[in-house]
Chains A and B, each alone.
Chain A
Amino acid sequence: MAVLVIADHDGSAVRDTTHKTVTAALALSSDVDVLVLGKGAQGVADAAAKIAGVRKVLLADGDAVGHGLAEAVEATVLPLADGYDAILSPANTDGKNFAPRIAAKLDVAPISDIVEVVSPDTFVRPIYAGNALETVQSSDAKKVITVRPTAFAAAAEGGSAPVETVAAGEAPKTAFVSEEMVKSDRPELGAAKIIVSGGRALGSADEFHAVMEPLADKLGAAIGASRAAVDAGYAPNDYQVGQTGKVVAPQLYIAIGISGAIQHLAGMKDSKTIVAINKDPDAPIFQIADYGLVADYKTAVPELMAALG
């Protein structure tokens, strides 16, 4: 049995979500190959080859796969599928976009967002916003799986796998138009050790930035937000933590002015330590917080900044 992992990368470096997906793949088989899709991504492929446990790296170079278009990813992966019993990708927006498409073409049931590999055909995945965990056994000969990266440790470095080139697929009916990526010197939400996250209580976009950014910079933290804050336009969409946004599990998660809707908790309740600052003592966030401070953020955050020195 061999497994193909579709790498997650930023065009120049492999994201650690790839290392974590390799860990999940190694629980299925010791024959793990990594597919790097991109435009001019030789460097990414070389980096993926250094992940311990990887047998070989396949590199598909093309414009359409470089933009992550699902149709092109499908067209790249399908000709390779015969050689694999399972195809894994991280459950990020790219993986969620192309994995079900590949599964449908192979006539198999996709297994989304797994948090545990029980055996090579049995997996645990969260359902109902993480309020239940479902253990499912797949009867499909070939499995298409997305992996929740926060649930797996990152595979170590230290490999030296060969890199081969494969043909990149096209997306004849879909065209890339443009992208608007948020530029930041702060760590990415998925990789950050500390996250400070703001809610609707912040009241405006200006206030959100004025309060959250200095605190994040002081802690070397990434910034997250509740859906309410994103919906209100206080923070960009890629800040959203929750059932339908990003799922995070940092060492420390500091929720500021977030009440703690079920959908938000779904995205952060596996954080190692949770701190909640909210002026409402009955806010549901306090039920899952390790440390709660009942206070208005307006006074609490400056005090926090001062205490951090």
Chain B
Amino acid sequence: MKVLVPVKRVIDSNVKARVKADQSSVDLANVKMSMNPFDEIAVEEAVRLKEGKEHHAAGTASEIVVVSIGVTQAQETIRTALAMGADRGVLIQSDADLEPLAVAKLLKAVADEEKPDLILMGKQSIDGDNNAVGQMLAALLDWPQATFAGKLEIAGGKATVTREVDGGLQTVSAGLPAVVTVDLRLNTPRYASLPNIMKAKKKEIVTKTVADYGVDTADRLKVLKVTEPPKRAAGVKVESAAQLVETLKSAGAL
């Protein structure tokens, strides 16, 4: 089984985003960038499918292809995935911050070429917070989708996925090929070992351009401005639980 894992280079999850003074966007100059944390979980699960770790049978995945759409430095994000155990990478170079619809169309074109049995990807990127690309990709491919996976089992040509939903957990089975988007509890991603980082340097990354795929990537949304959310006024410290209750009661909060 071939697994395709799209990954995105985003602001590091420990960095607090700051808005530019001209309100055009978030300031990413000199900010630490990393692989989107959900995508790391997707890469880890793909590697476990190949290695036969946890409940997966060895060789469930035979090949793992990683694809990223972004600036030249997104190569580093692909390299990280290769060091974790993916086999090869595709970088679709783009300096534009593409919208989810455009990303889904490019990924569909990649899927048409690569013909994976499973696309494993993060449920959302922590910059745009759209939570949309996986579902859109599944729709464009006319494949079933299983989102917010907390557990994944591959058997009998199906992906059986336990989804983290509002009321608890829902398990669905989707016939392959399918798109599965992953949630936080699916696994804990590994740190790549030094030998694997060295090995990853020799793995192939093919660089493409958006134009190579001939799809419409025009923006549908115009960003009019990006602003800071209203700040909360500084609070007060109370000395005891009794004082807290008293204060809350007099403020009408209890």
Write out the residue numbers on chain A whose beta carbons fall within 8 Å of the beta carbon of B137. Answer: 104
Contact of B222 among A128, A137, A246, A306 (CB under 8 A): A137
A1 within 8 A of B: no
Contact (A132, B144) CB under 8 Å given A269-B232, A303-B241: no
Give the shortest distance, in Å, between B250 (CB) and chain A (any CB).
11
CB pair B220–A252 under 8 Å, yes or no, is: no
**Chain B proximity mask over A278-289: 1 for CB below 8 Å, otherwise 0:** 000000001111
B198 within 8 A of A: no
Write out the residue numbers on chain A whose beta carbons fall within 8 Å of the beta carbon of B164. Answer: 93, 237-238
**Chain B proximity mask over A92-105: 1 for CB below 8 Å, otherwise 0:** 11101111111111
Counting chain A CB atoms within 10 Å of each CB, which of B128, B130, B174, B219 scores highest?
Answer: B130
Q: Please give the number of chain B residues whose Cβ is less than 8 angstroms from any Cβ of chain A in the complex.
A: 85
Contact of B147 among A96, A176, A289, A300 (CB under 8 A): A96
Contact (A303, B100) CB under 8 Å given A136-B223, A273-B253: no
Contact of A273 among B145, B166, B221, B251 (CB under 8 A): B251
Binds B, one of A47-55, A67-75, A198-206: A67-75
B248 within 8 A of A: yes
Contact (A131, B17) CB under 8 Å given A293-B241, A295-B241: yes
Counting chain A CB atoms within 10 Å of each CB, which of B135, B138, B237 scores highest?
Answer: B135
Contact (A133, B131) CB under 8 Å given A109-B101, A182-B167, A293-B240: no
Write out the residue numbers on chain A whose beta carbons fall within 8 Å of the beta carbon of B166. Answer: 92-94, 190, 238, 246
**Chain A proximity mask over B204-247: 1 for CB below 8 Å, otherwise 0:** 00000000000000011111111111001111111111101111
Complex Cα spacing A262 to B172, Å = 32
CB pair A101–B254 under 8 Å, yes or no, is: no
Binds A, one of B1-9, B59-67, B119-127: B119-127
Give the shortest distance, in Å, between B219 (CB) and chain A (any CB).
8
Write out the residue numbers on chain B whose beta carbons fall within 8 Å of the beta carbon of A231. Answer: 184-185
Write out the residue numbers on chain A whose beta carbons fall within 8 Å of the beta carbon of B19. Answer: 131-132
SS class, residues of chain B in contact with chain A = mixed
| A255-289 with Cβ < 8 A to chain B | 262-263, 269, 272-275, 286-289
**Chain A proximity mask over B72-101: 1 for CB below 8 Å, otherwise 0:** 000000000000000000000000000111
Contact of B104 among A104, A275, A304 (CB under 8 A): A104
Contact of A175 among B16, B134, B167, B173 (CB under 8 A): B173
B175 within 8 A of A: yes
Give the shortest distance, in Å, between A126 (CB) and chain B (any CB).
7
CB pair A132–B132 under 8 Å, yes or no, is: no
B136 within 8 A of A: yes
Contact of A101 among B13, B138, B247 (CB under 8 A): B138
Counting chain B CB atoms within 10 Å of each CB, which of A98, A107, A139, A293 scores highest?
Answer: A293
Contact (A97, B147) CB under 8 Å given A67-B170, A70-B135, A275-B244: yes
CB pair A96–B131 under 8 Å, yes or no, is: yes
Name which residue of chain B comes closest to A109, CB basis: B220
CB pair A292–B236 under 8 Å, yes or no, is: yes
B residues near A (Cβ < 8 Å) are: 11, 13-14, 16-19, 26, 38, 99-101, 104, 123-124, 126-140, 143-148, 150, 160, 163-175, 178, 183-185, 219-229, 232-242, 244-248, 251, 253-254
Q: A132-B26, A295-B240, A306-B242 are in contact. List 6 more A-B contacts (CB 8 A).
A: A102-B139, A135-B224, A179-B168, A182-B168, A251-B253, A263-B13
A residues near B (Cβ < 8 Å) are: 10, 67-71, 74, 92-94, 96-105, 107-113, 122, 126-140, 171, 173-182, 190, 219, 227, 230-231, 236-238, 243-244, 246, 251-252, 262-263, 269, 272-275, 286-295, 300-301, 303-304, 306-308
Residue pairs across A and B with Cβ atoms less than 8 A apart, 22 shown, are A70-B138, A94-B165, A96-B135, A97-B147, A100-B133, A101-B139, A109-B221, A110-B132, A129-B126, A133-B227, A136-B223, A137-B221, A139-B221, A139-B222, A175-B174, A176-B172, A180-B169, A238-B168, A252-B253, A269-B229, A288-B235, A293-B238
